[in-house]
Structure 1
Amino acid sequence: MGARNLEEILAAAGNTVKMLRNSQLGAYVYPVVASEFSNWRSEQWAWQHSAVLFDQTHHMVNLYLRGKDTIKLLSDTAVNSMQGFTPNKAKQYVPTTPYGHVIGDGIIFYLAPEEFVYVGRAPASNWLRFHATTGGYDIKVELDDRSPMRPMGKPVTRSVWRFQIQGPKAWPIIEKLNGGPLE
């Protein structure tokens, strides 16, 4: 009989590090986005010395929260303060249980008065949706779920496409593309 739980798997392996390093599962590749565009060495070099462009469109949930109680919901469920949070800003959102156990994290974008979007993994999104709908908050919730892992040949569309440029030359590249300074 095979192992019934994680504890038994780790006990049977004897050496957890060796087991993980020799896993036959292979790399996790999100099927909608190419795992690399040139090769990983060049991309790592660019990240450190130049700039890279990430496609952040497919692997995260977009959860739109609209209503007068949204700041209260965020304050009630997060460890970090929402005091001084204003439109056109973003901040990390770290929800916890009432006992302090971390649910996950993501980014909250303050789009406009009473309008926010959470971008991140499903656990924190699910936590927000649950409390928004059961906690007596005056909030409308709209979920734009992440792209399917297996689209089965169907086209993948999103309501929002998100890209991130990162690296020491990212800002000069953005200003060049803009035709001048942004600030």
Structure 2
Amino acid sequence: MTTPSLQDGINEAGSPVDLLWRPDDAPWTPPVVEPEHAGWRQEQHAWHSAVALSDLSHHMSDTVVEGPDATRLLSEVSANDYRDFAVGRAKQFVPVAPDGNIITDGILLREAEQRYLLSGVPAAQNWVGYHGARGGYDVEFSTDPDSRHRGGGPPRLFRYQVQGPLAGELVAAVFGGPLPPIRFFHTAPVELRGRRFRALRHGMAGQPGFEFFGEWRHGAAVEEALLRAGERFGLVRVGGLAYPTASMDSGWIPSPTPAIYTAPELSGYREHLPLRSYEGVRPLTGSFFSPDIEDHYCTPYELGYGRSISFDHEFIGRDALRAAKDDVRRTKVTLEFDPADVRAVLGDDFVHGYARNRVEVDGALVGVTHQTDSFDPAGTVLSLALVDREHARPGTGVHVAWGEHPGPGTDPDADLGFPRIRATVHPAPYGEHARTRYRLNP
């Protein structure tokens, strides 16, 4: 029996939006890890006031791209600059469709001269694998899915992230002294009691931090060492409810809609992707509804990836992306919800969600939310949104329509009686440390 393709699903549903629109779909949380350890509020405060430990071993898919043509392939399917991409360095991977809109981002680490590790949601990895297999490249792929889709067995790699003002002191205690200086998004080999792995200078919340990753068989010992040393620093383990909310500090919009559902030249790609792939099951939901899937697309410039883009090489979508550079209609912002409206509309139980909700000024649509979280350090709910540039100035007042549009069959602009939540525009990243200093750290 032939496995249905994404294109089969679109054809049967009638349109990409008919396929993907699922009101009231449960928000994503990391698989396997406990939802809470100390309580999600305390866990959020830990990466601001002390030190937090997050287990990132289970929620990302990893694809190794290896071979003589690995660099050429990656260069030809992404907008990144590879000229000075040294071994041991990581970067935000930015692949775009022929129309210049983003496929989705990922984290790309150069492990060796001809070997790369691409991590994140599978959409970018699917894109690279498809073109690598059909373009005559001398390259091999090996993928380890996330723990929800692996089908049993442990991950290939462990990943533990420590971050917060005391992260440096904790790391020094674990390793018997400070690690050698590591620049932001660079890695270095480390060793702990005969176990060798790597340290990535990183921190989702913008605070000082590291990601430690290596062979799964060493993971339990590394975690135990971090927990034991962390006792005197007030270390708090972060669970699956709090971890996604770290995006609010860093200003990272996760999982934009891949721009692959409509272009005629991508019909072969849609026929290649299984219907049950990430691209076929990632839901659309919220008060913002459009029957045109292209209204859900966005460019790398809108997401803040402009400095990752280089036009010094040929790549898919290059001309369209160059044109988009001079016509960036929206910008990324953080919306700070009015606390009284939060209590009246959301109550005390709301934690986290990815609904695409309407952002309005005087009743007119001016933007769309992408992630909304209760954020206890701010004392309210925050939302990452793309907003028309004329309404993106910090301090601007907007309203967020809160509700679930029923989807196809109902007018996108129908008055459905959704409550409006007052909100104020703030920069993204929201955290001052992440916005002004973090990437400048050595």
Same fold per superposition (TM over 0.5)? yes
Alignment match, 1:180: 177
CA distance in 2 between partners of 1:71 and 1:121 (Å): 21
Which structure has greater strand proportion?
A: 2
Q: Sequence identity, in percent? A: 34
Alignment match, 2:86: 86
Contact 1:95 1:105 in 2 (8 A): yes
- Structure 2 matches for 1:1-183, cutoff 5 A? 27-148=27-148, 156-183=153-180
Alpha-carbon spacing, 1:51–1:88, altered in 2? closer, same or farther (3 Å) = same
Give the counterpart letter for 1:90 in structure 2.
A
Unaligned runs of 5+ in 1: 11-22
CA distance in 2 between partners of 1:146 and 1:36 (Å): 20
TM-score, normalised relative to structure 2: 0.35
Alpha-carbon spacing, 1:130–1:180, altered in 2? closer, same or farther (3 Å) = same
CA distance in 1 between partners of 2:145 and 2:174 (Å): 31
Residue 28 of structure 1 and its aligned partner are, at CA, apart by 3.4
The range that moved more, 57-66 or 70-79, is 70-79
Alpha-carbon spacing, 1:5–1:101, altered in 2? closer, same or farther (3 Å) = closer
Give the counterpart letter for 1:47 in structure 2.
W
Give the counterpart letter for 1:96 in structure 2.
V
CA distance in 2 between partners of 1:68 and 1:150 (Å): 28
Give the counterpart letter for 2:102 in structure 1.
V
CA distance in 2 between partners of 1:140 and 1:150 (Å): 20
* Matched length: 163
Give the counterpart letter for 2:176 in structure 1.
G
Residue 143 of structure 2: SS of its match in structure 1? Answer: strand
Residue 135 of structure 1 and its aligned partner are, at CA, apart by 1.3
Residue 27 of structure 1 and its aligned partner are, at CA, apart by 4.6
Alpha-carbon spacing, 1:134–1:64, altered in 2? closer, same or farther (3 Å) = same
Alpha-carbon spacing, 1:150–1:142, altered in 2? closer, same or farther (3 Å) = closer
Residue 30 of structure 1 and its aligned partner are, at CA, apart by 3.4
1:123-152 CA deviation, whole Å, 9 max, x = no partner? Answer: 10100110111111110111111112696x
CA distance in 2 between partners of 1:5 and 1:78 (Å): 24
Q: What's the RMSD between the two structures over aligned residues?
A: 2.3
Contact 2:109 2:118 in 1 (8 A): yes
CA distance in 1 between partners of 2:175 and 2:140 (Å): 36
Residue 77 of structure 1 and its aligned partner are, at CA, apart by 1.3
Residue 26 of structure 1 and its aligned partner are, at CA, apart by 5.1
Contact 1:51 1:170 in 2 (8 A): yes
Q: Which has the larger radius of gyration?
A: 2
Contact 2:50 2:164 in 1 (8 A): yes
Give the counterpart letter for 1:116 in structure 2.
Y
Give the counterpart letter for 2:86 in structure 1.
T
CA distance in 2 between partners of 1:86 and 1:138 (Å): 21
CA distance in 1 between partners of 2:150 and 2:156 (Å): 19
TM-score, normalised relative to structure 1: 0.80
Give the counterpart letter for 2:171 in structure 1.
I
Alpha-carbon spacing, 1:150–1:128, altered in 2? closer, same or farther (3 Å) = closer
Give the counterpart letter for 1:82 in structure 2.
Y
Residue 94 of structure 1 and its aligned partner are, at CA, apart by 0.9
